[in-house]
Amino acid sequence: MSAPPPAIEVCRLVKTYGGTTAVNDISFTVARGEIVGFLGPNGAGKSTTMRILTGYLPATSGSVHLCGLPVATRPDEVKRRIGYLPENNPLPEDMRVSEYLYFRGRLKEVSRRQLGPRIDEVLEICDLKRVRHRIIGQLSKGYRQRVGIAEAILAEPPVIIMDEPTIGLDPHQILIVRDLIAGLRGRMTVIISSHILPEIEVTCDRVLIINQGRVVAQGTPAELRREIFGQSSYVLEVAGDEAALAAALAAVDPGLRAAPAGEAAAAAPDAFRRLRLTTARTDELGDAIVAALAAAGCRVRAIGREHPSLEDVFLAATRRSWDAVQAAAPRPPSVR
Amino acid sequence: MKHFPTLLSHELRMLLVSPATYVAATLFLGFMGLVFIKIVELYGGAPQETSPAVVYFQLFWLPVCVMVPLLTMKCLAEERRAGTLETLLTTPVTTTEVVLAKFGAAYALYASLWASTLGFFLVLRRYSGDERFLDAGPLLGGFLFIAVSGLLFVALGVLASSLTRSQSVAGILSCVALATLILGGNALADSPWLEQGLLRPLRSAVDHAHVFGHRDDFARGVIDLRHLLFYASGTALALIFSVLSVEAKQLQA
């Protein structure tokens, strides 16, 4: 028996509007049950890609398959398999929360018999029971955002696409949404775009960074750190003879480089110094360094491995793509 | 068309909670009430040759040019401005279903408002005790004209709303389009310059689109298939263009 197709398969996707290329040759795959974070600066093409995935916008070229179905030729079947929370979460102002969910549920072909209990369930999940009879136009931003999320998960679609789901939420509400998305892991495939990078790191299995319409990096946060920074670094506070220190470090890993970190070295020869050690090796070297330094008679006060945040990865990946674009751009003719 | 009933009931509900609907209904019923009072005064003063029902429908264009834009201007323009059209079209509904539901709801309200004015004639007959005030022929013909022509007028309003994301621009567009169709055709009908040379073929087109002529024919009990075809094809064309307009704007979203 052949394996089921991936939840989302995007191949060489291009979208141009009136001469502007919003999405430029993007390819990626999302496995079933995976939660993927979609990152990129404003105008990178995230929302356009998401709209193409939902079947709302047609692509200029390339192919998009959702649960094995081509979005371009079978949009109706694709739309039955997605829950979509668009950017800015537009909602009808004049409807009550429960009425809106009932209307959307009927459009999404949930049977009348199942719809009532399902609405109660999503209201409970999204903590909306208190406002179920309130008019949407009178709700706060946080509640409105949760109504949008409730609507996206209402019909229990296999794929959920959320464009900035936590925008405008307070930390408590962000925690609720994070738990809610984590609860979908394994059951539904979720794509989330967000600018709140720690949130993405906690919630998502994998991250996809796009810039200027291209995928500039993709993988788990750990893979991205390795790919973007290509090295591990440790911060060490140590006292002892410099020559012995250098020999001990070379014995652990000949590629280990030490450089002063922070303030300049203290005047006293046996004072503690703060060093940054960098190496191309990605395995854990902390214990080996401590043991080697102790054997060489150096005193270690503190050692810690530095983890670049997803924010650092994001900034480095986007900067790298801008540098590549600038390098590829034709130089203006020199003026003589 | 699986989702049409759900969309239609939603649209009717949204129209019923919209203040513009009540403004349109109040203006319409107030105006038609005044027209009816004037007719009663006229017929109370001296005997007239024509049936009161014929006179009643003569001023139909004035409320149409105000009421239809008020009922339709919001339908697609506001959905696009608010972004709710995007969420609607990412569910398994088609653009055709959405446009037809909006048209159906606006037409149902338009038709029911006109139908409610039948009450004026029933009240008059009840208190005057004179059967002639309820002259079935012209009354039925007049209401049939309103029902048939209303299809095209409302479809033009929906088309205007599909062209822009501003409600007020949609309202003005719709008002201008209706006035051009109804009054423009009437103004051109008697123009001598249409008889000249190359413009002569335009004459038959203007005659076919002469809405006042259609109204008079319906009131006399003449149900001409060409008139029905004119309104049916015009409605279909306006709705097809509305669907195309929504889809074309979606491409540039």
Candidates A54, A91, A95; nearest CB to B90: A54
Mean pLDDT, all residues of chain A: 82
Q: Enter the tokens of residue B240.
A: 């097809």
Q: Are A198 and A242 within one domain?
A: no
Kindly write down the DSSP assignment for every residue of A147-169, as one continuous string: HHHHHHHTT--SEEEEESTTTT-
Give B-chain residues touching A17 at CB under 8 angstroms: 252
Whether A43 is covered by a domain: the verdict is yes
Is A256 found in the same domain as A133? no
Same-domain check for residues A86 and A191: yes
Number of domains into which chain B is organized:
1
Within chain B, residue ranges assigned H as helices are 4-16, 19-45, 52-56, 61-72, 77-82, 84-89, 95-116, 118-128, 136-163, 167-179, 185-189, 200-208, 211-219, 225-251
CA angle (A261, A263, A267) in 5-degree steps: 115
Q: Show residues of chain A in contact with B19, CB under 8 Å.
A: none
pLDDT for residue A263: 60
Looking at residue B115, what is its pLDDT? 92
User: What is the domain count for chain A?
Assistant: 2
C-alpha distances (whole Å) from B190 to each of A217, B57, B94 are: 72, 21, 44
Q: Range with the lowest mean pLDDT among A165-169, A287-291, B119-123, B222-226?
A: A165-169
* Confidence (pLDDT) at A103: 93
What's phi and psi for A37, nearest 5 deg?
-95, 135
The shortest C-alpha distance from B77 to chain A (Å) reads: 13
Instruction: Output the pTM of the full model.
Output: 0.80
pLDDT reported for residue A161: 92
Minimal Cα–Cα distance from A164 to chain B, Å?
15
pLDDT score, position A282? 72
Question: 113-132 in B: which are within 8 Å (CB) of A?
Answer: none
Q: Is the pLDDT of residue A80 over 80?
A: yes
* Residue A210 shares a structural domain with residue A122: yes
Q: Provide the pLDDT for residue B168.
A: 92
| Residues B146, B150, B153: CA angle, nearest 5 degrees | 135
In a domain, A324, yes or no: no
The reported pLDDT for the residue numbered B17 is: 86
For residue B136, the model assigns a pLDDT of: 76
Most B CBs within 10 Å, among A23, A54, A56, A101, to test the B interface: A56
Backbone φ and ψ for A8, nearest 5 degrees, come out as: -135, 130
One domain, residues A270 and A217: no
**What is the mean predicted confidence (pLDDT) over A281-300?**
83
| Residue A325, pLDDT score | 60
What is the band of B126 on the pLDDT scale with cuts at 50, 70, 90?
confident
pLDDT in tens, A4-61: 788 899 988 888 887 788 888 888 888 888 899 888 888 788 888 898 998 888 888 8
Same domain, A177 and A33: yes
pLDDT digits (tens, 9 = 90+) for B46-57: 777 777 778 888
Please check whether residue A30 is in contact with residue A68, taking contact to mean a CB–CB distance below 8 angstroms: no
The average pLDDT across B171-176 equals: 94
Show residues of chain A in contact with B10, CB under 8 Å.
103
CB contact under 8 A, B90 and A86: yes
- Cβ separation B14–A94 shorter than 8 A: yes
Which helix H or strand E contains A279, and what residues bound it?
strand A273-279
Rounded distance between C-alpha atoms, residue A64 and residue A23, angstroms: 13
State the nearest Cα–Cα gap between A75 and chain B, in angstroms: 8
- Of A207, A196, A201, A169, nearest to A182 (Cα)? A201
Assigned domain for A178 exists: yes
Residue range B59-86: average pLDDT? 89
Averaged pLDDT, A263-284: 72
Rounded to a whole number, what is the distance in Å from the CA of B84 to chain A's nearest CA? Answer: 5
Q: Is residue A334 predicted with pLDDT exceeding 50?
A: no
SS3 A304: strand
Give the CATH number of the domain where residue A159 resides: 3.40.50.300
- pLDDT of B49 reads 78
> A230 vs A124, which has greater pLDDT?
A124
Cα(B161)–Cα(B168) distance, integer angstroms: 9
Higher pLDDT, A186 or A135: A135
Structural domain containing residue A123: 8-227
- Checking if the pLDDT of A250 tops 60, the result is yes
What domain range includes position B13? 4-251
* Residue pairs between chains A and B whose CB atoms are closer than 8 Å: 61
With respect to residue A296, please indicate whether it lies within any of the assigned structural domains: yes
Contact B252 A103 (CB under 8 A): no
- Amino acid A326: pLDDT: 63
Average pLDDT, chain B: 86
Residues A256, A135 share a domain: no
Q: Which residues of B touch A86 (CB under 8 A)?
A: 83, 86-87, 90
Q: Pairing relation of β-strands A273-279 and A206-211?
A: unpaired
Residue A323 lies in a domain: no
**Do B90 and A82 make contact, defined as CB atoms within 8 angstroms?**
yes
Q: Is the pLDDT of residue A265 over 60?
A: no
How far is A263 from chain B, CA to nearest CA, in Å? Answer: 53
Question: Could you tell me the CATH number of the domain that includes residue A253?
Answer: 3.30.70.580
pLDDT at A298 over 50: yes
- Give the tokens for residue B217: 């024919």
Measured over the CA atoms of residue A59, residue A61, residue A67 and residue A73, the dihedral's sign is positive
- Considering only alpha carbons, which residue of chain A is nearest residue B9? A103
Q: pLDDT digit string (tens) for B5-28?
A: 999 999 999 888 888 888 888 988
Residue with the bigger pLDDT between B133 and A99: it is: A99
A142 with A259, same domain: the answer is no
What does the alpha-carbon distance between residue B111 and residue B71 come to, in Å, rounded to a whole number? 12
Residue A76: per-residue pLDDT: 85
Contacts of B2 in chain A (CB under 8 A): 109
Q: Which amino acid is at B14?
A: M
Nearest-angstrom CA–CA distance, A52 and B251: 11
pLDDT of residue A336: 43
- Whether B240 has a pLDDT exceeding 50, the answer reads yes
Inter-axis angle of helices A141-153 and A112-125, to 10 degrees?
140
Q: Please say which residue of A227, A258, A290 terminates a domain.
A: A227
Cα separation, A260 vs A86, whole angstroms: 48
- CA dist A129 and B68 (Å) reads 39
Q: Is A56 on the interface with B (CB under 8 A)?
A: yes
Please give the single-letter amino acid code of residue B239.
Answer: L
Q: Nearest C-alpha of chain A: how many angstroms from B251?
A: 6
What is the Cα–Cα distance from A103 to A106, expressed in whole angstroms?
Answer: 5
In B, minimum Cα distance to A148 occurs at B87
Q: What is the mean pLDDT of residues A133-152?
A: 89
Within-domain flag for A282: yes
Residue A69 has pLDDT above 60, yes or no: yes
**Single-letter code of the amino acid located at A217:** A
Q: Does any domain span residue A120? A: yes
pLDDT-derived band at A120, boundaries 50, 70, 90: very high
| Range from A93-97, A316-320, A327-331, B38-42 that averages highest in pLDDT | A93-97
Residues A219 and A238 in one domain: no
How far is A153 from A122, CA to CA, in rounded Å? Answer: 8
pLDDT, residue B19, reads: 84
Please list, in sequence order, all residues whose beta carbon lies within 8 angstroms of the beta carbon of residue B130, skipping any fewer than 6 positions away: none
Nearest CA in chain B to A106: B6
Give me the pLDDT at residue B216, please: 82
Q: Does B253 touch chain A (CB under 8 A)?
A: yes
What does the pLDDT average to over A92-121?
Answer: 91
β partners of residue A21: A16
Range name among A13-17, A105-109, A227-231, B53-57 with the lowest pLDDT average: A227-231
Nearest to B251 among A54, A58, A108 (CB): A58
| Whether A107 and B88 lie within 8 Å, measured CB to CB | yes
What pLDDT does B176 receive? 94
B11, two tokens? 């649209």
Mean pLDDT of A117-129: 89
